[in-house]
Structure 1
């Protein structure tokens, strides 16, 4: 099996990162060749030290998820890239699903993502996840939290992740196109619901929809990012 590079952008992620990395250890048990690469945006909470203690490669990038995943993708050594958020844990037989996807030569010009779930089982969070999964299936617009598996050559032919302060995930999957996106069977990306608990689920959803609408209307990503924050 070819080498798979897992690219994880981090910014003060010391609390969440150990759980993300622990789930990736499943690859060792099935002897899947995996490179884990942290693209850090200037953490001050020990994230980089934690990553190094875990034997994970680290690169430093300018703060901003788009810039960080772009830098991580450029530093990756693998034939396949798996972009994963630091507050997300892969669940299910993700090594088997990834191996199956990679084994099909036609998927070198396609990409795959996981089903979304939250680490908080409140009804509002289940509804948000269900809506996100429906959006992914019907519109081909998975969230960055849902991870993205893509061949390095195809990724580079698309221009890589743009160095945007926000909406870098939407920009890339729009280039890929709905027909070239598929779901990794049996794989769930369990991500933190912390931002929904902090801001309120309804308020956060409305803010996300406003940002997405503004992006499609052509508003500058820098302006959208200021509103988002």
Structure 2
């Protein structure tokens, strides 16, 4: 399979927001660097002020590490401003994309899909998590979340004004809602594998319940501060 990009072909900038992730960042970067082809123009790690060795570990891997103020929406917007690829791929530090993810993304964009994501699996075979992961195959905005990763052309991202930095949480879902209104959204058939660590620390049913409440509150008109206040009271990071 030929991965050498032709002239003017779409290329990807991977944007990874991090904060105190020294235990995860090396694993993800090793994986990305092993699979890297010329379709990936750059890997940008956006650090929100880590107090551990996240910044150092990422630098040692030879990727671009950029300091930012704390806040995932802010960090991802910073990454988008620095990105030189014409496709932005936003990836959580504890999510592993599928093999040939870069080819799947660029093919989707070449076919006119300006934004999309992958399906999702957890790094656990627990039936409860498998049931919820199953719904990520459906192309409805209520089924979207940041753990699925997100690709979007830089042109569309800029047109929509990027992530809304008022959102400390729920920034991925809020942005996905705007993408669904602005463009055809593509759910690719391959799956990312994301960590279930937050479910383990909060309890599976308990965490999913609170996520459901946050979605409901947003639907009923709650603003970013109210959503964050609920999250901080109910969910352990």
Normalised TM-score (structure 2)? 0.87
Deviations 1:23-71 (A, max 9, x none): 212443x432331101111111100001110111122222111111111
Q: Does residue 206 of structure 1 match 2:209?
A: yes
Map residues 68-147 of structure 1 onto 2, 5 A cutoff.
68-104=75-111, 106-107=112-113, 110-131=114-135, 133-134=136-137, 136-139=138-141, 141-147=143-149
Q: Does residue 15 of structure 1 match 2:23?
A: yes
Q: Helix, strand or coil: the match of 2:22? A: coil
State the distance in 1 between where 2:50 and 2:209 align.
29
Work out whether residues 12 and 102 of structure 2, in 8 Å CA contact, stay in contact via their aligned partners in 1: no
Q: Does residue 166 of structure 1 match 2:174?
A: no
Match for 1:150 among 144, 149, 152? Answer: 152
Q: Note the residue ranges of structure 2 that are not aligned, 5 or more in a row.
A: 1-8, 233-237
Q: Helix, strand or coil: the match of 1:91? A: coil
State the distance in 1 between where 2:191 and 2:141 align.
19
Number of residue-to-residue matches in the alignment: 222
Given the superposition, is the C-alpha separation of residues 141 and 75 from structure 1 closer, same or farther in structure 2, using an over 3 Å criterion? farther
Instruction: Identify the structure with bigger relative contact order (alpha carbons < 8 Å, sequence gap 6+).
Output: 1
Give me the CA root mean square deviation: 1.8
State the distance in 2 between where 1:140 and 1:205 align.
14
Normalised TM-score (structure 1)? 0.90
Residue 227 of structure 1 deviates from its aligned partner by 1.5
Given the superposition, is the C-alpha separation of residues 141 and 156 from structure 1 closer, same or farther in structure 2, using an over 3 Å criterion? farther
* Greater shift in the superposed pair: 9-18 or 86-95: 86-95
Given the superposition, is the C-alpha separation of residues 60 and 150 from structure 1 closer, same or farther in structure 2, using an over 3 Å criterion? same
Q: Does residue 40 of structure 1 match 2:42?
A: no
Work out whether residues 141 and 174 of structure 1, in 8 Å CA contact, stay in contact via their aligned partners in 2: no
List structure 1 runs of 4+ shifted beyond 6 angstroms: none
State the distance in 1 between where 2:180 and 2:109 align.
19
